[in-house]
Amino acid sequence: MSAAPAHAGAGPGPPRPGGGPVLFLTGHLPSYRVGAFARLHEREGLEVALFGGARRHGGPDPAVQLPFPARRVRPHELYGLAASGRYRAVVCPTGGRAALLAGWAGARAGRIPLILWASLWAHPRTPAHAFSYLPLRRLYRSAQAVVTYGPHVSAYVRRRGAVNVFEAPQAVDNEFWSAPQHVEPQLEDWPRQAAARFLFVGRPDPEKGLAVLLDAWARAGLESSCALVLVGAARGAPPRVPAGGPLPAAAGSASIHELGPLEPARLREVYAHAAVLVVPSIATASFREPWGLVVNEAMNQRLAVIASDAVGAVAGGLVRDGDTGIVVPAADPVALAQAIGRLAASPELRARLGAAGARAVAAYTYDAWAEGFTRALASAGVAAR
């Protein structure tokens, strides 16, 4: 299959110093990423190549025309693109082993800088990933620059030989997510009478820790006063638990309300009328939460946050225990139940944490994300500015 346009781009972007635009490789481009890529395109001029592969995010693909050139390709076609002489740099993610190697080899053949976009802060422990450890470590050392999600990833790649490291902080559309929401959600099964609503937003996959949260919810004993609201999974779908693990006793409790997947405007209403976001992710052999953008979204609506120490937003410094949230050990339902009970009993603590989180997340913008890549490109001598 030859490379085919995914969406026709709008606008040529800024002037490009010799070598054309920046070729940005990524498996998928969910809707919540489009604004960040658009801001980088305004600065640097992009062409995005979407090579597909496994999805590890919950967002849909964009339904509208992308504001930058993009094409869908097969992984092996990335070599020819990168080596074509049409681009002044290539940005490669650490996901997609065949795509990563093709992009790296093409950049070398084309004698243009390779910028590695790194998300790992712990290498996966599956047999398949064992074969990628040494090649990826070589890439950390050989890339002209490495761009990371935050200081936790920066520390990881530096320990593996990366020397020219820049940070592009994870960002959402803060203006959209912080807009006031005065009308309570008009949704079936919305718990209007609950004294406090605790919120989980994510897939029901084992690494998201939903089974741990359901266990903790039963231990917290708040069924008669508070509600646990689940967003993201299809309604009625049980949480996926680690192999051999039991389904938590709380599953099916009358205090648990399943809303299913929600489009962003509806989810924003839910954030605005919830009290606490819980992000109970756990580390598995194949995955550790790189960040957790639901944290950014919820903080924009001044929610208090409980997150496990397996969440990138904790390791990266956005969620700080006792300051912008409460941090608990991953896979520890007792500690999580205690944190839930603590926030259920203290509206004042919820308000303080929510206000501090809103102040902290204001710095995590699309401009800051794009600036990280501009600095990396400038270090290689190919930035547009």
Is the pLDDT assigned to residue 198 strictly greater than 90?
A: yes
- ∠ CA 129-132-136, nearest 5°, is 130
Residue with more model confidence, 148 or 237: 148
Q: Angle between the 97-110 and 133-142 helix axes, to the nearest 10 degrees? A: 30
Q: What is the pLDDT of residues 270-291, one digit of tens each?
A: 999 999 999 999 999 888 999 9
pLDDT of residue 196 exceeding 50: yes
pLDDT at 197: 98
What average pLDDT does this structure show over 37-62? Answer: 84
> What pLDDT score was predicted for residue 12?
42
| 194 neighbors 164 (Cβ within 8 angstroms) | no
135 confidence band (pLDDT: 50, 70, 90): confident
pLDDT tops 70 at residue 355: yes
Spatial separation of the C-alpha atoms in residues 22 and 158, rounded to whole Å? 25
Mean pLDDT of 38-58: 87
Model confidence at 237: pLDDT above 90: no
Please give the order of strands across the beta sheet that includes 197-201: 256-260, 227-231, 197-201, 276-279, 304-308, 326-328
Weakest-pLDDT range from 113-117, 149-153, 244-248: 244-248
Predicted confidence at residue 218, as pLDDT, reads: 96
More confident site: 327 or 129: 327
C-alpha 10: how far from chain center: 26
**Confidence (pTM):** 0.90
pLDDT reading at 16 higher than 60:
no
* Summary mean pLDDT of the chain: 89
What band does 256 get if pLDDT is binned at 50, 70 and 90?
A: very high
Distances (CA, A) of 139 to 145, 159, 287, 364: 10, 13, 20, 27
Residue 328 and residue 336 in contact, taking contact as beta carbons nearer than 8 Å? yes
Question: pLDDT tens, 170-191?
Answer: 999 999 999 999 999 999 999 9
- State the pLDDT at residue 15: 39
* The residue type at 217: W
pLDDT digits (tens, 9 = 90+) for 87-104: 999 999 998 888 999 999
Mean pLDDT (whole number) for 247-260: 75
CA 152 to chain centre: 14
What contacts 18, CB < 8 A, 6 or more positions away?
Answer: 88
Task: Give the SS3 label for residue 257.
Answer: strand
pLDDT of residue 22: 98
